[in-house]
Chain A
Amino acid sequence: MTPIEKTDLLQGTLDMLILKVVALGPIHGYGISQRIHQISKEVLFVQQGSLYPALHRLEKRGLLTADWGESENGRQAKFYRLSAKGRRQLTAEEATWTRLAEAIQLILGAAPQEG
């Protein structure tokens, strides 16, 4: 399957994905791009040019917090964590997304009318 790049994602979706990945545990930028790639079974690929501005924006809005720590191979990396505000935002966005997806699914799954 062709990877879907960020530009094809709906506005706001990238933020939700990032929040979701960070919610799994403290993680650095490289890790986030890898996880999105892996979890989506290599369908989604986030350009770094989109990832880092998004991370910084989320940090500025107080949804993420960040501090420096040691990566798994012993190097200094910037780790992101979800703030309480970020957790609330994520819950809200997940709910909206699920409703939207279900709605779309219903429409796409509608059987052609008889006659």
Chain B
Amino acid sequence: MANRFGNRRDDDLDREISFHIEELTQANIAKGMTPSEARRQALIAFGGHEQTRQQIREVHSSAFFESLRFNLKAAIRFVRHAPSFSFAVILILAIAIGANSAVFSAIKAVILNPLPFPDGDQLVELNQHDIKNRDANRFVAPVRVEDWNRLNSTFQAISGYYLDDLSEVSGPLPEKVTECLVAPRFLQVLGVSPMLGRDFTPDEEHFGGPDAVLISYSYWQRRFHGDPSALTQKVHVGSYSYAIVGIMPASFRFPSAGVDLWSPSAPDAPYARRRDATWFTVIGRMKSNVTLEKAQSDLATVQNQLGRQFPKPDADLTVQSRPLKETVVGSVRGSLWLLYGSVSLLLLIACSNIAALLLARTADREHEIAVRFSLGAPRSAIVIQLLTEVFGLALCGSLLALVFVSAASRAFHLLATTLPRVEEISLNWKIVLYSLATTFVTTLLCGLFPAIRGTRRGLSHSLAQTGRTQVSSRSRIQWMLVGVQVTLAVTLLVGAGLLLRSLQELARVSCGFDSSHVLTFQISGSWGETTDMKGLIQRIDRTLDGLRSLPGVEATATAAALPGASYLYQVEFKIDGKVDPNRKFLADSRYVSAGYFDTIRIPLLVGEICKAQSATPEVLVNRSFANAYFDGGSPVGHQVQAVGYNDFAPAGQIRGVVGDAREEGLGSLPVPTVYSCFSAPTPFPNYLVRTQGTPLAMAEAVRRRVHELEPARSVYGISSLNQHLDDASAENRLRTILLTLFAGSALLLACVGLYGTLSYLGRIRQREVGVRLTLGALPHQIVTMFLYQGIRVTVVGCIAGLLLSLAGVRLLSDMLYGISPLDPETYASVLILIMLVATTASLIPAWRSSMAEPTQALRQE
């Protein structure tokens, strides 16, 4: 290296040396020697010419690579000399870095990465909002989508979509397909083109134009086995047949992974022209350099203009926009950051654990370090050597961790199916970089302190002593590290404890309905059927009756939404045509068929259940509604009507009062609820069937019966109501399990730290113990002495941990159910647990130290 890069330096060196020899020669001549003798003597006096040059070169070339090579060699030697120690460190780091990187890979994919569309950050979702009437309906009329698109100045394009669950009928059995009906410009907004074929033509996007469809990659594979000739074929969906014009790439899964077909929904169709006929979820692509605020105010102007032009209903509407990513990622953000916080705490615990181990280790190596000092190594070189050793271990750990991460991303795909964008989680180079960066930070965190500490005492000091008398100051630091571990472990345990307790509370809740022995499923249908409501109701009632007559079926019902999952569709009601100026009659509005209460066993308290086929709309209310708005009087016979829905929801007469049921999920208290008895709230409502035996055992019979009744429709989403409720709490459960796992590891690490530190101190103080025993101390006094130290640091750690928990527990508060974030029981059990475990971990080394043979301990001197 010196030869290639150091030519100039070599020349300088030669010049410097020859100048010196020249001067010597001149001096010799001045002494009276002949020139040749003078030069000879000068060369002799100078000594080994080439050797000196080599030495000087070494001064310069010792730079980075030389020392790296040296340090790596030292690191390898280190691992070879202490294999079990190294293995333990590597394993701890592998788990800690692995868990951290795995959760980070999920955060990266789900939260941090832009949506998988070009310039995904320019995409927004637009909702209309009716402030005056508190209408929770956020869908937008097709004509309004066209108006927004035409009048705005901040968007490249605005489009919309809604989903239909239909049946494809060209096969021997109808197959359920999910069709996404899209407003014009849908692909333009998303910035995606078909993989094969083309986007829709303007003709196809107009009413009366040719029926065209784009198919998803998975549908193409499933139905056409990836044959490109699919582009010449048709799909038969319901009563329509669509020509396939394009195949979307595999990565395109908008608005959900389950979509099979996209087809245009013409905004100029006769049924789409009403300004109050709302069904589109609207998406838009902002022009580049346009901020959300600017787009929002632009649309507000547009909507104002529409309000003047069409006072009813546009004057009451406002537009809300939020990044499309928000709507996709939504609620899991909190959970993921919580998990990331916990794995980071775990990593910190691992670091302080390893730092404590290393501290003990550098103390053992004091002699080696002293020898290196005495050989002239600067302190920085020794620190770097010690750090390189740790880095070597951390690197091994992080390589193992990457294996862990790739396994974890597979586990995410399998376990966290409800996680949005889960399919985008993968091990890629960014995650590898992240792990490497973590490794560096980890190295510094756990290595720097012991290295600086271990090299603090200079030459004079360490050769003279072997460190026995220096215990106190170093052990203080070690105790501090153990204290940190206990603190963090307490924090994690409190978090996990609260989540566990709230799961426990949830399991104890009486939900007000009976979810056992209920089979649920859906039957395909199309929003197009809503043009003939009478026919739709008849069709669904016929199906309900047909299913009811199956042997083993006790009751059947339909519902717009299944109980147990959040639906929260708060609507303001008028009672007997009146609005109370002092308060709003807010209630959850649920659409169920008359058989619903029988099927999931919500008891009737007052009055009677709606008649199955009633000419006038009938409703039931729950006990909360009656208590809240009728002050003890009977609501039966009164009229309720949703405000602002005159056309769609006529006034209904209250027929009876039913018990409160936790329809919004087990974790939510029942709210005032109005059940409108209506069997066809959507063309594909949820069917609920109460069975005598195991619900899923009836699945086949149900499927056959539906096929007899409706040969062109498919049954899908078959599940039991219990399973459905379980799925609804899957995120909650997964979060709890993971946090508990992390907290358990943290506890284990803290104990290992405690145990290791006490064992080390026991060894260091062997002589002292020997002396004490010789002087008549009893073994139990020795045990008490060590135990006291362990317990003292645990108590301090517990106090600090409690304070930290109190500060951090706010993060958890909206994930808890039925317990306060300050639940004393949880805190008490965490403290008891940690004291018990810590005492056990201290007892063993304490006991072992007291067993020392006094004579043997003294002889070691």
Contact = CB atoms under 8 A, between A and B. Distances in A.
Given A11-B376, A29-B20, A52 B47 contact: no
Contact of A71 (B19, B59, B376): B19
Contact of A78 (B16, B22, B46): B16
B51 A60 contact: no
Interface residues of B, number: 22
Contacts of B46: 48
B74 interface: no
Nearest to A77: B19
Given A30-B24, A56-B60, A60-B60, A78 B55 contact: no
B22 A49 contact: no
Contacts of B24: 30
A76 interface: yes
A56 B20 contact: no
A53 interface: yes
B52 interface: yes
Contacts of B17: 48, 52
B19 A76 contact: yes
Contact of A49 (B19, B48, B60): B48
Interface pairs A-B: 9 shortest CB-CB:
A30-B23, A53-B55, A56-B59, A30-B20, A49-B47, A49-B52, A78-B16, A48-B46, A57-B59
Contacts of A41: none
A5 to B, nearest CB: 11
Interface in A14-46: 28-30, 33
B823 interface: no
Contacts of B16: 28-29, 52, 77-78
A56 B46 CA distance: 17
A76 B315 CA distance: 92
B268 interface: no
Nearest to B54: A53
A13 interface: no
Interface residues of A, number: 19
B33 to A, nearest CB: 17
B20 A49 contact: no
Contact of A52 (B22, B45, B56): B56
B377 to A, nearest CB: 11
A11 B45 CA distance: 23
A52 B46 CA distance: 11
Contact of B19 (A33, A47, A57, A75): A75
A68 B56 CA distance: 18
B825 interface: no
A53 B59 contact: yes
Contacts of A77: 16, 19
Contacts of A28: 16, 19-20
B22 A75 contact: yes
Contacts of A2: none
B12 interface: yes
Nearest to A72: B23
Contacts of A73: 26
B15 interface: yes
Given A30-B24, A57-B59, 19 more contacts: A28-B16, A28-B19, A29-B20, A30-B23, A48-B17, A48-B46, A48-B47, A48-B52, A49-B47, A49-B48, A53-B55, A53-B56, A53-B59, A56-B56, A56-B59, A56-B60, A71-B19, A76-B15, A77-B19
Interface string B1-12: 000000000001
8 contacts: A11-B376, A28-B20, A30-B20, A49-B52, A52-B16, A53-B58, A75-B22, A76-B19
**Most chain A beta-carbon contacts within 10 A, residue among B16, B26, B46, B52:** B16
B59 A78 contact: no
Contacts of A75: 19, 22
Given A11-B376, A53-B52, A56-B60, A48 B15 contact: no
A11 B375 CA distance: 9
Contacts of B15: 76, 78
Nearest to B59: A56
* Best-surrounded residue of A29, A30, A60, A73 (most CB of chain B within 10 A): A30
Nearest to A11: B376
A49 B59 contact: no
B59 A60 contact: yes
A94 to B, nearest CB: 18
Nearest to A75: B19
Interface in B427-480: none
Interface in B22-60: 22-24, 26, 45-48, 51-52, 55-56, 58-60
A52 B12 contact: no
A28 B22 CA distance: 13
B376 A49 contact: no
A78 B12 contact: yes
Of the candidates B12, B19, B47, the one having the most CB atoms from chain A within 10 angstroms of its own CB is B19
A59 to B, nearest CB: 9
Contacts of B56: 52-53, 56
A36 B583 CA distance: 101
B461 to A, nearest CB: 15
Nearest to A28: B19
A77 B110 CA distance: 66
Interface string A66-100: 00000101011110000000000000000000000
A32 to B, nearest CB: 10
A15 to B, nearest CB: 11
A57 B59 CA distance: 6
Nearest to A12: B376
Contacts of A53: 52, 55-56, 58-59
A77 B12 CA distance: 10
A28 B55 CA distance: 19
Contacts of A11: 376
B89 to A, nearest CB: 34
B460 to A, nearest CB: 10
A33 B17 CA distance: 13
A75 B26 CA distance: 12
Contacts of A57: 59
B22 A47 contact: no
Contacts of A56: 56, 59-60
Nearest to B374: A11
A49 B55 contact: yes
B672 to A, nearest CB: 79
Nearest to A47: B47
A33 B19 CA distance: 13
Contacts of A48: 17, 20, 45-47, 52
Contacts of A76: 15, 19
A57 B62 CA distance: 11
Nearest to A60: B59
A75 to B, nearest CB: 6
Contacts of B52: 48-49, 52-53
B47 to A, nearest CB: 5
Contacts of B22: 75
Given A30-B24, A49-B52, A78 B47 contact: no
Contacts of A29: 16, 19-20
A78 B60 contact: no
A71 B23 CA distance: 10
A53 B47 CA distance: 13
Nearest to A31: B23
Nearest to B26: A73
Contacts of B45: 48
Contacts of A33: 20
A29 B56 CA distance: 13
Nearest to B22: A75
A30 B25 CA distance: 11
Contacts of A47: 47
A33 B52 CA distance: 15
B384 to A, nearest CB: 16
Contacts of A60: 59-60
Nearest to B9: A56
Contacts of A52: 16-17, 52, 55-56
B379 to A, nearest CB: 13
Interface string B549-576: 0000000000000000000000000000
